[in-house]
Every structure is written in structure tokens, then in C-alpha cells.
Structure 1
Amino acid sequence: MLAFLAAGCNNKSMNQDDTIAQTPTTQNNCTPLETREANSPDQKPAFAGQTRGCGIKSTSAYKVEVLAKGLEKPWAVEPLPDGNLLVTEKPGRLRIISAAGQVGEPITGLPKVDSRGQGGLLDVALSPTYVSDRTLFWSFSEPRQGGNATSVARGVLSEDRKSLEQVRLIFRAMPTYDGDKHFGSRLAFGPDGMLYMTLGERSDLEIRPQAQQMNSHMGKILRLTPDGAAAPGNPFAGQAGALPEIWTVGHRNVQSAAFDADGKLWVVEMGPQGGDELNLIEKGKNYGWPLVTYGEEYSGQPIPNAVTAKAGFEQPVYYWDPVIAPSGAQFYTGTAFPEWKGNLFVGGMKDKLLVRLRIENGKVTGEEHLLKDRGQRVRDVRQGPDGALYLVTDQTNGELWKISPGQ
């Protein structure tokens, strides 16, 4: 399939009924891409361009190839240096799919996962020294006495690529909780060589406040050494009652994390109804949940005792109302699509699409929605060494796609 996209912003005038809570954010007289009624129309953005950004359209032609089908709830895709791809499946399987689409048998040696609800085998990341040591890291919902929580393990891929060796559990998020939602969890190695791990707050009202509690990993972004210890220089190390692994506080459920070309960490987190957020992550900052947030409960009721802005809490760079249900993120750095250089791609599950964000000087200046015609929930997006984008779809019969230049 070839998709050809026209250039420029749509400059037609907006319908007055579509501009509730939008007028402050309209940029350069362009029409916001999002024109549906907001879930929380009385909430106002903190600054121009924070929501309902200008719609943009690529001029680049691209083709979408379905490399593989029949994957069961694939959660992550991780390109290998040789062009093949690692794919996790939620029930607990890790496979290699060749660049030509040949689906390998499950790799043996992984620990058991608790795949109820949103749990299972989650992200997979290559060691920064993978070429020399074949080391992989993966996150999963670990079954434990009394419940479960997100854990990280590492192991060495065997030379025949059929098994994992020297497998060891390096980190266990605490506390254990008997639930099946909001495990996080993306893994991303930073330019400092440290492993950044995103965690959800487990959703339920009883545990939700732990996103603001320093003696809990829930609702935090962590910074770990490759051995799973608290990384040196973490902001709360030595603070009484604070867990030393914590990097940032106040997150709801982060399943998208990516470093940009300048080495800055960005996350896109699943907010409540009408409150998905793009956040620029800075050491020691508090991102608000559940005290400061946009959106509302899924029931339509307000978030208890929450406001949209408060001193001492970070504002999102951008937010979506209605939501996109973000999962997976990639800053484009390749040469296959020069027009997309520096853009952030985010998987969207609710509206079944791929989001492209143009970010300039720390602000979103344009948004495009791609692949809506394919009607599948995009769970992860990563760039391969060939400059193509690779996506997996969150379906029982999930697929692996490749986006490369069209003619």
C-alpha cells in the first residue's frame, strides 16, 4: 500500500462549536487536528499550543508492509543491528522475526509472567554493548506471593538465538499488589549508560496515592544501573524514607519513553479520560498525578481533589483531550524520511493510529495522524538501522509492520 500525503496546514476557518477550550492553542491560524468535543471542556490549557495542536501533513510517500501476522498481543518491537527484530508477546513469549518476516520459535529461558489484565511480558531493550555481549533486558509483570508487580531481568542471547543464558532478575518494583492494571513499563538506556524504567501506579483508588509517595516505586520513573541498582546521582538518594531508584514522581501509567537527539528523555503517559500527556522528563521533578492532571475519571466524574495546575508541579508539554491511549515512542533520526527528522512518533491504541508530533524549541508545533485506515491498535514503534519504522499492533492476531519510503 502506498500513501501519499499533501503538504501544509489546513487554513479553513474553524466552526465556532469546535473551539471549546481550543482558541488559546490555535497556532498560525491553522486548524487544530482535533475537533471532537473535549471530555473536560471547562478545563483550559496553561499555555498556547499545549493541546489541540495544528494539523500537519507529510509530503513523504511511504509504503506499509505487513512483515508478520498471528502474533498474540505483541507488546514491544526492538530492532537488532543485523536488521532482524525482537518482538515480545504479552502471554510471555519473546521471538526473533527476520527482516523478511520469518517468525522464529519462542526463545526459551524467560521467567514466568502474570498475564492477567494488562500484565505479561512487556518491554525488551538491547544492552548498549549488545554487539559484543548479546545482552538483553526485559520488563514483565512478575507473579509474587500476594499479587504481582513489574520486574526487570537480563540475560544473554545464545549464539544460536534460541535461548537466554545467565538469566537473572535485577530489579523488582515494590510494593507487591494484587491487581491487573498499570504496570508501565518501558525500558530505555540513556546517553549516560543508565537504564530508565517507567512504572504505572496500578490504577486502583486505594494504591493510586502512592504515585506521590517516596517509599513506593508506583507511578515513578526510575534510573538504574545495568545491574539494577540505584544509579549514582539520583535526586532522592539519601533522603529519609525515599527509594533511591526514583528519578521522577507523579506519573499515572507510562508506556512510551524515548530519548531525543540531544539526550533528553520524553515520555507519553496514559492519563485519565481526556488527560494523556507528553512530558519532558527532568531530574527530581513532580509530574502531578493524581493531584494535578487534565481530564476526568472514566465514569465522567472529576478526579478527586485534583486541579490542572499548581505551583511545584510540572505542566505537560502537550496533552490530548480526547485521549489517544499512547504506547511506544520513537524520535526519528534516520535518513529514509528527511522530512521526519527529529519528529516524535507515538503509538495510539484508542483511535488505532500512529501519531507524528513536530516538536520545536520544546513545544509541539504540529500533529499528524497516520495509518488510521488500517484499523489496528498501535502498541509500539521503533526505528530500525535501515531508517524504516517498525510497529506492532495490540491485537489477539497482532501484526508487525514496516514503514519505508514509497515511490
Structure 2
Amino acid sequence: MRVTRAGLFSVLIGWLVSAPLQADMQLQTEEYRLKIEVVAEGLSHPWSIAFLPSGEQLVTERDGRLRLIQKDQLHPDPIAGVPEVAATGQGGLLDVVLHPDFENNQLIYLSYADATDAGLTTRVMRARFQDHALHDAEMIFEALPRSSGGRHFGGRMVFDQAGFLYLSIGDRGEMERAQQGDDHAGSIVRLHDDGSVPADNPFVGDAAVRDEIYTLGNRNPQGMTLHPQTGDIWSSEHGARGGDEINRIMAGLNYGWPEVTHGVNYIGTKITEHSELPGMESPLLHWTPSIAPSGITFYTGDDFPAWQGQLLNGALKDRLISRVSVSYAQGEYHLQEEERFLQGFGQRIRDIRQSPDGILWLLTDETRGQVVRLRPANE
């Protein structure tokens, strides 16, 4: 499916281009008028948000700080015990997720870029969060081999309904690595909550592919979420110049990069002659030209009933939210972009999440980034 801009409803507020979002602003979409609530600001490139059972929020800053929001106030002190991160290029402190049994074990997971003399890579750390600090920290996964360069760390994590942890790892800017099974780069890995390898991972026993790998051929997925009915993992993936993708992540599949793509190199030259090939999974939707998709979430709340079951995507390059309808018929999913909004504000949207109470939250990937809520304007 090729998505174009023709016929899309676009909300443009020209005088606000590149301006921070302001509290009590309102925004008209096709279906709803939204009220913008700025919860916190002045964060350095916030990357991820996690919702604690207490009603508080954890937010990562790419520079390497983990912050706490309490009653809509940003705690002045960063949380202690965060590992040293390589805040270089696109790297730094990335995702934060809670263990499925967080209420009993207080475990959280951080993904981050790490540097040694051998180069850079993506790591995952597990620790217990208590008294504004991380305790009993342990590194449970490291993508290998390391390499130079500050691009395409991936870093998005999600737990599925069975308690397995999924982590995206980008191709590190070296596209051929995404087709090399002995290399974690350009893959999605699946782990137990302690970092060990599930016995039913699709390549366990295959000497040519690392046991942790769940899928191959992924360029740089930076959004992952669960389908609310099936529990399947869905991802958003950066293409090059065009070819951004939405994929359903299934065990053992090869998503094609760089053997197949709808995009081209940034200088306009071809990457491949193929947009599809036998044995390689095609995307459910692709954006050409690119919007640079980031965090994604399926909307299941009550505030915006017309959006229920639809996929909401943040975007970095085009600085917007994309709303995509999702339907299922005759064994296949069908996706159609319905609307783009928020682009008039000129803010890079790093993540979009739905909190447990059904509210939409955004993170803006800016030097003075913001944590923002969207509510119906008539509340």
C-alpha cells in the first residue's frame, strides 16, 4: 500500500511552526477537537514514557537521565542508578518498560547505547525501582558484534501477553548486516524476562542464526506495540528515503531489508530493484515519501470512540501524528491512513502512548522536549 498526501485532512497553524506546544491550546481534527495539556517541559530529547501503578510516570532523556513525574510535576532530581550511556548520534538512554509483575517486583527495563573500546551497541538493563533509585541492576542483553557509528540503535521494547520481552535492534547504518543471522543488527530479539533465550525461539538450534533473533531484515524499528485483540507485536520501521513501514512481527520471518524496500538511498540512488520477493514479508503499510515513524499505539480508550482499534503513529521528519484504520478480512489485515494532524506545531513526535486510564500522551523529541497529554476539548 502506498500512502500519499492527496485527500488527507491536514491541520495547519502556520504561526505556531516550530513553537513549543502550550498548555490549553486546542486542535481540530477530523473527528474531534483536542485540548493540549503540557505536563512537563525542558527535558533533553525525551524518548520513552512508562506508567507506574501509582499514577506516576517514568520518562527517559536521551542524554542519560531517567525522570519521574508526580501529580503532573517533574521531580527536580533524576533517578539514581542509571547506567552510563553513549549519548552520541542517535544513541543514548532509549526505552523504559515495566515488568508485567511490576506491582510485586518493582522491576524496570532500560535500553540504551553503550560504548567500549570495541565500539558501540544496544544493551538492556534490568533493575528494581525503589526510593527514587535503581537497585540490583544487571545487564541482561547486549547486541553483538559492536561497531562504530552513531546510527540505528533501535531500542524499542515491549512485553507480550505471555511475558516475553521483545527488543528492536537497528542495522547500525550498515544495511547488509540485517541479512546476517550471526549478527544481532537489523533484527528483533525475543527474551525471557531475565534475558535468557526462550527454547521456542524460531532459530534455536540453527548454527547460522543467533538464538535470540526472532525476526531478520529490519532496518531500524523504533515503535512497537501489542494488537489489543490478538496480542500480536506490531512495529513501525524507518525506511531510507521512503519505505517507512508498519509490520506485524511474526516468528522467524524476514522483513527484507535491504533486499526489498520501497525506498531509495538518501542521495536518490537505488538500493534494490525489488519492492517484494518470495520468502520476504511485505509491510502492512508503507509511507513513500517518508514521514520517519516513531512510537505507535493502538487506541482502545473511551475519550475518542471513533478512533478505537486504530493505530496512532508519531513521526519525526514530518512532525505529526498519523491515524491509520485497521481492518481484518479473509485472513488479511488492511491498513489505510485516514488523517495527519499536529504538524502545524513543528515538533518532532518521538513517542505516543495510551496510559492505563485511556489518555493519549506524547513526547516531543526536542532539545527542550515536552511531555504532553491530549484530551477532548469539551471536558
Shared fold per TM-score greater than 0.5 = yes
Aligned length: 355
Q: Does 1:359 align with 2:326?
A: yes
Report the secondary structure of 1:131's partner residue: helix
Q: Does 1:254 align with 2:221?
A: yes
2:44 to 72, 75, 79: 72
1:61 corresponds to: 33
Q: Does 1:170 align with 2:140?
A: yes
What is the CA distance between 1:306 and its match in structure 2?
Answer: 4.3
Question: Does the CA-based 8 Å contact 2:190-2:201 persist in structure 1?
Answer: yes
1:182 is aligned with what amino acid? H
1:315 is aligned with what amino acid? S
Query: More deviation in 97-106 or 313-322?
Result: 97-106
1:277 to 212, 234, 245: 245
Question: Does the CA-based 8 Å contact 2:67-2:74 persist in structure 1?
Answer: no
1:398 corresponds to: 369
What is the CA distance between 1:101 and its match in structure 2?
Answer: 3.1
1:83 corresponds to: 55
Question: Does the CA-based 8 Å contact 1:327-1:346 persist in structure 2?
Answer: yes
2:18 corresponds to: none
Q: Does 1:195 align with 2:165?
A: yes
Equivalent-residue separation in structure 1 for 2:312 and 2:284 (angstroms):
15
Question: C-alpha deviations, 1:23-45, integer Å up to 9, x for none?
Answer: xx89xxx954399xxxxxxxxxx
Equivalent-residue separation in structure 2 for 1:34 and 1:119 (angstroms):
34
Question: Does the CA-based 8 Å contact 2:9-2:30 persist in structure 1?
Answer: no
2:8 corresponds to: 33
What is the CA distance between 1:333 and its match in structure 2?
Answer: 1.7
Report the secondary structure of 1:312's partner residue: coil
Report the secondary structure of 1:256's partner residue: strand
Question: Does the CA-based 8 Å contact 1:153-1:170 persist in structure 2?
Answer: yes
Cα pair distance change 1:209/1:366, threshold 3 Å = closer
What is the CA distance between 1:297 and its match in structure 2?
Answer: 0.4
Report the secondary structure of 2:136's partner residue: strand
Structure 1 residue runs of 4 or more that deviate by more than 6 Å after TM superposition? none
Matched ranges for 1:302-341 at <5 A = 302-303=270-271, 305-341=272-308
Equivalent-residue separation in structure 1 for 2:124 and 2:74 (angstroms):
28
Question: Does the CA-based 8 Å contact 1:68-1:400 persist in structure 2?
Answer: yes
Report the secondary structure of 2:297's partner residue: strand
1:217 corresponds to: 184
What is the CA distance between 1:198 and its match in structure 2?
Answer: 0.6
What is the CA distance between 1:62 and its match in structure 2?
Answer: 2.0
Equivalent-residue separation in structure 2 for 1:383 and 1:34 (angstroms):
23
Equivalent-residue separation in structure 1 for 2:199 and 2:373 (angstroms):
38
Equivalent-residue separation in structure 2 for 1:240 and 1:366 (angstroms):
41
Question: Does the CA-based 8 Å contact 1:75-1:392 persist in structure 2?
Answer: yes
Identity score, percent: 41
Report the secondary structure of 2:351's partner residue: strand
Cα pair distance change 1:34/1:180, threshold 3 Å = farther
Equivalent-residue separation in structure 2 for 1:324 and 1:145 (angstroms):
35
2:100 corresponds to: 128
Structure 2: gaps of 5 or more residues: 11-28
RMSD value, Cα: 1.8
What is the CA distance between 1:102 and its match in structure 2?
Answer: 3.0
What is the CA distance between 1:241 and its match in structure 2?
Answer: 2.2
Equivalent-residue separation in structure 1 for 2:156 and 2:360 (angstroms):
18
Q: Does 1:228 align with 2:195?
A: yes
Query: More deviation in 329-338 or 275-284?
Result: 329-338
Cα pair distance change 1:181/1:318, threshold 3 Å = same
Question: Does the CA-based 8 Å contact 2:9-2:339 persist in structure 1?
Answer: no
Question: Does the CA-based 8 Å contact 1:58-1:339 persist in structure 2?
Answer: no
Report the secondary structure of 1:210's partner residue: helix
2:15 corresponds to: none
